[in-house]
Amino acid sequence: MASRPELKAEAGFADASKLRSLQPLGPLVPSWLNERVPKDPHRPRLQYRTVWVSDTHLGTPGCNAELLLDFLRSIACDKLYLVGDIIDGWQLKKGWYWPQRHNDIVRSVLKLAKHGSRVIYVPGNHDDVLRDFVGLHFGGVEILPEDIHVTADGRRLLVLHGDMFDSVVLYARWLAHLGDHAYTLMLRTNDIYNAVRRWMGLPYWSLAAHLKKKVKNAVQFISRYEEVVARAAADRHADGVVCGHIHTAEIRNFGNVTYYNDGDWVESCTALVEHHDGRMEIIDWAERVRNEVRPRREKKKRQPVAVPA
């Protein structure tokens, strides 16, 4: 990605503020942006007012790209929030990994923006390079440091990635990177485990998420993190907060503040959605796919085996 000075030079403007007013140039828009997102006639598109997705970690083998792409192609929404760690810059610096499916995911997001969804990207710690471009628009995607979202029923929700409340990331970056190596190893184990499940004809199941729930220190950290984030939202006079970062989907009340975490697309494959009446819900897409696959597998088992005459 070009640096800010390079962007200025290419655009021919003296300051970044003028870049914000740039309108898309028709001849430079790729033709695929005008294509409609593929529709499955047997699966009506899910209609939401707002969708929050975070921690997809594009650029790593751990990203569940097939499930994420399936989700993006299955929804329609007025507003889509990308709540940080969408692209994993830490891993891409170590070695380039970018399969076609990751391109397809970027295309799906840009198509949603092209066809009417407002898309807001709030960078996280793994894609913190994008914080240098706060206030700019790329392909219809707005980059903001955080945002206040007003729900259909009038509640004010603070939207941010949440890494600023993680003392390990904030005060000991080297330790965070060390933890990142251990986490990458766990995800590779998760990949091997699910490769065996696919070979056996079984759907995705997150070994990594299961292990994290069983580790006492992880559970204590998550609980403490949720409390700190909720308190920060209360200090900002918000009715709730939506974040990501810790890869644990949750809806929990702390006094008058509701804490929402949309989860991730590495372990659990979850998103947070707002219905048109303001009702909030966590969508477990991996579980949804498992529920769709299970009846087909059972039906296949019940089919009679042809016996040769």
What CATH number is attached to the domain comprising 266? Answer: 3.60.21.10
Contact 231, 250 (CB under 8 A): no
Copy the structure tokens of residue 38: 């593929």
Q: Residue 20: pLDDT band by 50, 70, 90 thresholds?
A: very low
Note whether residue 7 is domain-resident.
no
Note whether residue 116 is domain-resident.
yes
Write out the DSSP string of 203-247.
PP--HHHHHHHH-HHHHHHHHHHHHHHHHHHHHTT-SEEEE-SSS
Distance CA 246, CA 262 (A): 10
Asked if pLDDT for residue 15 goes beyond 60, the answer is no
Q: Residue 129: pLDDT band by 50, 70, 90 thresholds?
A: very high
Exposed/middle/buried for residue 271 (C-beta within 10 Å: 0-12, 13-18, 19+)? buried
Asked if pLDDT for residue 237 goes beyond 60, the answer is yes
Distance CA 22, CA 59 (A): 29
**Total domain count for the chain?**
1
What is the reported pLDDT for 296? 55
Write out the DSSP string of 124-182.
-STTGGGGGGTT-EETTEEE-S-EEEEPTTS-EEEE---GGG-HHHHH-HHHHHHHHHH
Note whether residue 205 is domain-resident.
yes
Residues 6+ apart with CB under 8 A from 25: none
Asked if pLDDT for residue 69 goes beyond 50, the answer is yes
pLDDT in tens, 200-223: 666 665 555 555 554 444 556 777
Q: Residue 153: pLDDT band by 50, 70, 90 thresholds?
A: very high
pLDDT in tens, 74-89: 999 999 999 999 999 9
pTM assigned to the model: 0.73
pLDDT in tens, 166-192: 765 454 444 455 455 555 655 566 666
List C-alpha distances in Å: 2 to 5, 7, 8, 127, 293.
8, 6, 10, 14, 43
Note whether residue 241 is domain-resident.
yes
- Amino acid letter, residue 44: P
Residue 52's nearest CA partner among 75, 34, 33, 30 is 75
**3 state DSSP class of 282:** strand
Residues 6+ apart with CB under 8 A from 253: 259
Contact 248, 43 (CB under 8 A): no
Asked if pLDDT for residue 28 goes beyond 80, the answer is no
Contact 75, 48 (CB under 8 A): yes
Note whether residue 103 is domain-resident.
yes
Residue 113's nearest CA partner among 135, 140, 76 is 140
Q: Residue 292: pLDDT band by 50, 70, 90 thresholds?
A: confident
Q: Residue 267: pLDDT band by 50, 70, 90 thresholds?
A: confident
Q: At what angle do helices 100-114 and 65-72 cross, to 10 degrees?
A: 20
The overall average pLDDT reported for the chain is 79
Note whether residue 4 is domain-resident.
no
By residue range, what is the domain housing residue 213?
39-302
Note whether residue 34 is domain-resident.
no
Residue 116's nearest CA partner among 67, 84, 82, 75 is 75
What is the reported pLDDT for 134? 95
Q: Which of 35-39, 126-130, 147-151 has the lowest mean pLDDT?
A: 35-39
Query: Between residues 32 and 241, which one has the greater pLDDT?
Result: 241
Note whether residue 29 is domain-resident.
no
